[in-house]
């Protein structure tokens, strides 16, 4: 379960008012192709952890959640509550709200003590 943990920890580093894509998260973890796994990790109930899963969206800047009942609308509401605005196409302005991510050194330090 190392990957999930990495995902959670990295997602927790996303500052309020910013959003990141599954692909970017996966890339920072060293698995550029593991975007699906990242999404799955967030969908998984991280009981006990306060993970801002709503700050993670797809590359198009849209809500990808298949299960809308779970929180497609909720996610949009949460993001708007953090100051993120959606355009007419329900898309997020990546240039403005996109999270630059952590520097490789930061990532290394972040997981240095972790297995």
Q: For DNA, which residue of 31, 94, 110, 111 counts as binding (CB under 7 A)? A: 31
The CB-of-14 to DNA minimum distance in angstroms stands at 13
Token pair for 14: 């996303």
Query: Of 8-16, 32-40, 79-87, 100-108, which segment contacts DNA by CB under 7 A?
Result: 32-40
Would you count residue 36 as binding DNA (CB under 7 A)?
yes
Query: Cβ distance 104 to 29 under 8 Å?
Result: no
Cβ neighbours of 6 (radius 10 Å) = 23
Residue closer to DNA by CB (options 27, 102) is 27
Q: Which of residues 67-96 bind DNA (CB under 7 A)?
A: 67, 70-71, 75, 89
Q: Using an 8 Å Cβ cutoff, are 79 and 54 in contact?
A: yes
Q: What are the two backbone dihedrals, phi and then psi, of residue 50, each rounded to the nearest 5 degrees?
A: -95, 75
Q: What angle do CA 87, 91, 94 make, to 5 degrees?
A: 100
Could you list the residues that contact DNA (CB under 7 A)? 1-4, 21-23, 31, 33-43, 53-54, 56, 58-60, 64-67, 70-71, 75, 89
């Amino acid at each position: 379960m190392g990957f999930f943990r990495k995902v959670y920890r990295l997602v927790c580093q996303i500052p309020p008012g910013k959003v990141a894509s599954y692909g970017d998260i996966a890339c920072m973890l060293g698995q550029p192709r593991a975007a699906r796994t990242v999404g799955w990790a967030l969908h998984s109930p991280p009981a006990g952890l306060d993970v801002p899963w709503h700050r993670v969206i797809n590359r198009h800047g849209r809500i990808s959640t298949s299960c809308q009942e779970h929180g497609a609308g909720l996610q949009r509401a949460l993001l708007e509550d953090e100051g993120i605005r959606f355009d007419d196409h329900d898309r997020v302005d990546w240039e403005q709200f996109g999270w630059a991510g952590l520097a490789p050194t930061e990532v290394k330090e972040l997981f240095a003590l972790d297995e």
